[in-house]
Amino acid sequence: MRFYLRYIAFAAAGFAAGPEQAIQHIEQRAHLAGRMKELRVTAVSVAVIREGKISWTKAYGTATPETAFEAGPISETVAAMAALHMAQHGNFTLDEDVNGKLKSPVGRKVTLRQLLSRSVPDGFPIVQQLLMDRIGWSFPQIMERMVFHRAGMRHSAWEQPGGLRTTPGDLAQWAIELRETYYGRSNKVLERSTVHEMLTRQKDGWGLGIPIGGEGPSFHFGGGGLRMLVESGDGAVIMTSAGQNELARQLMTAIAAEYRWPEGWDR
């Protein structure tokens, strides 16, 4: 009996540790191979987070897990972390008129809170200029020193004028750092109080620079190919060639079904 129980424990641990079966289920649910061919997607890369840690990464087509993709709108979300890092260190406040800190004022009163919560149309260029004017570095330097290095994003770079180029693994690491800080277990980039402010609804479905949604177990942050469930620490990052959002949505839905994410993860 003792041997039998040990065997059962060993087998269960081995099954839980191996993601291969889950990956197969996800590929089948999303009809991945066929959809890649149909949509002419040449590269897909995925990182899955379980209980606050990267569980597995996998790439398809011409991609490898180290292939960097253009992050699109997620660029602004990651960059918001740099703006809030500077705010918490006294460079400016969330609610002051930023014109006093800009070398070329925009001519109307506007605050960092308004810019990051998308209360001001086309506000991101103002955020970029604010940070560069205040500290005197280029924006790629700001992102490297304030976010990438601190959050452990080793395969990421900011390209002007394109924005963030990164991997799903790096974005997953960024999301984990944000969640760890939310619970007071890290402060590599932001303080806990700043992250709580960042993940507080400001306008519509936005916090400070970041989409948020859900309630309780389904409370999450991220949009597009990024989701992080705050309570459970489960999430995923999906990046595709040509910014193929339809395929990313199908894969995210398949991942959510496989790992039984709570209802509301997508709202």
* pLDDT beyond 50 at 5: no
Question: Which domain range does residue 45 map to?
Answer: 2-258
Number of CB atoms found within 10 A of residue 79's CB: 25
Q: Answer yes or no: is 162 within a domain.
A: yes
The pLDDT score that the predictor gives to residue 243 is 75
pTM of the model: 0.92
Q: Answer yes or no: is 264 within a domain.
A: no
The pLDDT score that the predictor gives to residue 147 is 98
The pLDDT score that the predictor gives to residue 18 is 67
Q: Answer yes or no: is 97 within a domain.
A: yes
Q: Answer yes or no: is 202 within a domain.
A: yes
Q: How many structural domains is the chain composed of?
A: 1
- For all residues of the chain together, what is the average pLDDT? 92
Q: Check if the beta carbon of residue 211 is closer than 8 Å to that of residue 219.
A: no
pLDDT-derived band at 161 (thresholds 50, 70, 90) equals confident
Q: Answer yes or no: is 83 within a domain.
A: yes
* pLDDT beyond 60 at 17: no
Q: Which long-range contacts (C-beta less than 8 Å, at least 24 apart) are formed by 251-258?
A: 251/26, 251/30, 251/32, 251/44, 251/46, 252/225, 252/227, 253/29, 253/30, 254/25, 254/26, 254/27, 254/29, 254/30, 255/26, 255/46, 255/48, 256/227, 257/29, 258/22, 258/25, 258/26, 258/29
The whole-angstrom separation of Cα 208 and Cα 200 is 7
Retrieve residue 83's tokens. 């703006």
Number of CB atoms found within 10 A of residue 215's CB: 10
* pLDDT beyond 60 at 151: yes
Q: Answer yes or no: is 164 within a domain.
A: yes
The pLDDT score that the predictor gives to residue 211 is 97
The pLDDT score that the predictor gives to residue 107 is 85
Q: Answer yes or no: is 267 within a domain.
A: no
Q: Check if the beta carbon of residue 47 is closer than 8 Å to that of residue 237.
A: yes
Strand (E) or helix (H) holding 167: none
Q: Answer yes or no: is 115 within a domain.
A: yes
We report the CATH number of the domain holding residue 133 as 3.40.710.10
